[in-house]
Structure 1
Amino acid sequence: MADPYKTLGVARDANEADIKKAYRKLAKELHPDRNKDNPKASEKFSQVTNAYDLLNDKDKRARFDRGEIDGDGNPAAPFGFGGGGGGRPQPGGGFRSEGYESGGPDMSDIFEGLFGGAQRGGGGGFASGFGRRPQPKGENVAYRLQVPFVDAATLEPQRVTLSDGKTLDLKLPAGVESGTQMKLAGKGEQGPGGAGDAILTIDVQPHRFFTRDGDDVRIDLPISLAEAVLGGSIKAPTVEKPVMLTIPKGTTSGKTLRLKGKGFHKKTGGRGDQLVTLMIDIPADNKALADFVEGWAKSNTGNPRGAMGV
Structure 2
Amino acid sequence: MGDHYQTLGLRRDATKAEVKAAFRRSALRDHPDRHASSTDSAARADAARRFRQASDAYHVLSDDRRRAEYDLRLRGSASSYARTSSSGWASSSSAPYGYGYGYGHGGGSWRRTPPGAGAGAAAGSIDWEFLLKAVTRRGFLINLGFASVLLSGAAFLDGSILEIWNMNNSGKSFEDVIESIEKAKKDAERR
Structure with the bigger RCO (C-alpha within 8 Å, sep 6+) is: 2
Fold match, TM over 0.5?
no
If each structure's helix is expressed as a fraction of its own residues, which one has the higher value? 2
Normalised TM-score (structure 2)? 0.41
If each structure's strand is expressed as a fraction of its own residues, which one has the higher value? 1
Larger CA Rg, structure 1 vs 2? 1
Normalised TM-score (structure 1)? 0.26
